[in-house]
Amino acid sequence: MGTYTFGAIDIGSNAIRLLINTVEEYPDQVEFKKTAFLRVPIRLGEDVFTRGEISPEKRERTCEAMEGFAHIMKAYGVQDYRAYATSAMREAANGTAITDYIREKSGVTIEIISGQVEADTIYANGLVDMLAADKTYLYVDVGGGSTEVIVYSDRSKVDARSFALGTVRMLSDAVDKDEMKKFKKWLAGIGKKYQPTAIIGSGGNINKVQKLLNKKDKENISRPELDMLYRYIKSFSFAERVHTMRLATYRADVIVPAMKIFLTVCTQCNIDEIIVPKMGLSDGIIRTLYTLHKADTTRPAPL
């Protein structure tokens, strides 16, 4: 038994996040407790999806964030971490050059991961323990550059797919014209084969939707509620969403395409319920680190 402290850095197309978790082992269970969380809305996707590479300005902002994260992890006594870069970084022509630059400046090593690795890491976040054995769920993670969908049936992953559909990509009008068709066709096939009963929603936007609907923590969202809120928010201009609805500037635009993606999943698979457990890629990274440390006796011992 012991206590571990792990860090997870998620470098997405819309924002960069740092999660620090304390993992406490007890005789009958293991608890993952959030110690710190920080979000920086840099929006790498704005550069990549329109120009094909990350600009010097956003390279420097990302590097400054990583330098800050490195100091914070040191202050918290983080024993191990992973920094995963997703859609924007893997599509950027200068993605590898950026990660090399950041490693030299900040000491933080960034791994540019594929959509499949992203989905597999999300799968590791422990959600399977929350699923009913006799139901099928679609885990839907909507990011700035991509949407990951994992199909759980009988508490096992039976399919997973990553689509180049994300909020920043949609706002930048940089979605391939056939991608939405592929998304809908695949979902229709999944709906027919597995008949999923609920969506497990992941991402900052669906978390915000839950708050806007005045839902309690982990209270489910119905499709009619989501559709109503989508139409309501869409009727406002960006400025009105910020000043009237009091949405943050980094949320006021991306929340609309995010809701559109979730509604598309609901429609294609005839799903009326969305579960919001507030877990995602960062949680999967933490779980993966814990598993690796338990399996490798050469790694540092717990505190």
Cα dihedral 33, 294, 301, 283 sign: negative
Model pLDDT for residues 53-81, shown as the tens digit of each residue: 999 999 999 999 999 999 999 999 999 99
What's the pLDDT score for residue 301?
46
What's the pLDDT score for residue 302?
45
Claim: this prediction has a pTM higher than 0.85: yes
**Is 292's pLDDT higher than 60?**
yes
What's the pLDDT score for residue 129?
74
What's the pLDDT score for residue 277?
86
Model pLDDT for residues 229-244, shown as the tens digit of each residue: 999 999 999 999 999 9
Name the residue with higher pLDDT: 300 or 36: 36
